[in-house]
Homo-oligomer: A and B are copies of this chain.
Amino acid sequence: MMIPDFVDVKCSACPIRHRAVCARCDTEELLRLEKMKSYRTFPAGTEILWRGEPLDYVASVVSGVASLSKTMEDGRTQMVGLLLPSDFIGRPGRAKIEFDVTATTDVTLCCFARAPFEALVIDTPHVAQRLMELALDELDAARDWMLLLGRKTAREKIATFLDMLARRSQLITPKGAGTAPAAALHLPMTRDQIANYLGLTLETVSRQFSALKREGIIDVPDRRSVIVINIDLLQNATGDDADGGVVA
């Protein structure tokens, strides 16, 4: 099912140029990266990497959404990360990973052969530093998620998830500029995948969607869309501070 797609794009024209590992690379470094990179596309639902599989490549997500997940023998699974464009797959100095990486939507990766990439990391502090920043960002996200998984109610989990999508979609004006107009969100995953992300069952996810809809906080026009009708009520339902933790 894998569809290799080696049509490369110039780094200078890359949509994630300014946020990915290569964010702070100079022209010369970009040339070096250009030589070791290749694009590759995975259709929604396919496995990008299996747990324990040796990593010959590291990669940046160029477009689409991929997920990291852990599975127990009896089939219970928990998503432990969501990879959006500019996020990085693989880790310097480690030959394998302890979770599965799956294409949630169609995903295009910018793959780098492992050996030359590691050499580049050693040579260029830019890249090493950027990798560190990306790792620390992931760590912060993982810790926020631990609070959600360990302590939030089903309703709070769903509200937090939708609020996160709304923020990510940049449909909320950065400065507190009053209530944003009704915002349509695209859900990149099925109810089952949302459940695995939030540590719930798909039935509970569905019920909470229905409850928020009944209360007029959201609308669900089709299975892949959510319209946020009242962002303030949604944020109240997340259990977080209204302002996202920033001191007023």
Interface residues of A (CB under 8 A from B): 52, 68, 70, 72-74, 76-78, 80-81, 91-94, 98-99, 122, 125, 128-129, 131-133, 135-136, 138-140, 142-147, 149-151, 198-199, 239-241, 245, 247
Contacts and interface: CB of A to CB of B under 8 A. Distances in A.
Given A142-B142, A143-B81, A94 B149 contact: no
Contacts of A147: 70, 72, 78, 80
Contact of A129 (B81, B93, B133, B241): B93
Determine how many copies of this chain the complex contains: 2
A143 B70 contact: yes
Contacts of A78: 146-147, 150-151
A191 B93 CA distance: 38
Contacts of A92: 132
B91 A143 contact: no
Contacts of A72: 147, 151, 239-240
A133 B199 contact: no
A38 to B, nearest CB: 25
A91 to B, nearest CB: 5
A122 B124 CA distance: 11
Contacts of A131: 132
A136 B91 contact: yes
A97 to B, nearest CB: 9
B133 A135 contact: no
A122 to B, nearest CB: 7
A245 B142 contact: no
A146 B128 CA distance: 27
Contacts of A70: 143-144, 146-147
B199 A132 contact: no
A81 B245 CA distance: 19
A143 B80 contact: yes
A72 to B, nearest CB: 6
A119 to B, nearest CB: 13
Q: Which 7 A-B pairs have the closest CB atoms?
A: A150-B199, A149-B149, A142-B142, A80-B143, A78-B150, A149-B150, A78-B147
A138 B145 CA distance: 14
Contacts of A149: 146, 149-150, 199
A23 B144 CA distance: 30
